[in-house]
Amino acid sequence: MKVAVFGGANAHPGEPDYDQALLLGAGLARSGHMVMTGGYIGVMEAVSKGAAEVGGHVIGVTCDEIEAFRPIKPNKWVKEEWRFISLSERMMNLINRCDAAVALPGGVGTLAEISVLWNQMLVHAVPKKPAILVGDGWKEIVDCFFTAQNNYIAPQDHELLAYAPDIQTALEFLNGAHHS
């Protein structure tokens, strides 16, 4: 499977979120999955590095708008670059071309990716696919949204997202989904 990993740019080597992303990348590659990330720094870099260091294939989905905003280039572990002009095109290609998605800790961009994937599955614009949110933070955010806006969100819509407390559980979920 091609697994898109969403996560923040502000994780640094030696920090727990970066280290967990390294483990996720390695675990995905060892399980035979291709890794798709936004291609740059932070969690994206860590997942890319983890996958590449165990021989996995890393696709970096990049765009001109990010590089105009922040003067960076794709990380050195990206083996295949899919380049777009806009952030919107970048996000839609991550969402549309993955077979599963995992969201690690992140900020507004990661929340946008989760929300758009969730909505695209909800309206059947993309097939239902595993969408795993890792850590208590995402579950709290989605539960708060679901509770506050419950008149607008059907219970079955909530079921399009899965939650994993940690990387190992996310990998087990993906590998079970892959083999079912």
Q: What is the pLDDT of residue 178?
A: 52
Give Cα 124 to chain centroid, integer Å: 19
Name the average pLDDT for the chain.
95
Q: Residue 150's pLDDT is what? A: 86
Average pLDDT over residues 137-148: 94
Is it the case that residue 179 has pLDDT exceeding 90?
A: no
Classify residue 146 by burial, with Cβ atoms within 10 Å: 0-12, 13-18, 19+: middle
Whether residue 90 has pLDDT greater than 80: yes
* Residue (of 8, 6, 49, 55) closest to 33 by Cα position: 55
Looking at residue 155, its pLDDT comes to 86
Provide the pLDDT for residue 180: 41
pLDDT (tens digit per residue) in 145-173: 999 998 899 888 989 999 999 999 999 99
pLDDT digits (tens, 9 = 90+) for 15-70: 999 999 999 999 999 999 999 999 999 999 999 999 999 999 999 999 999 999 99
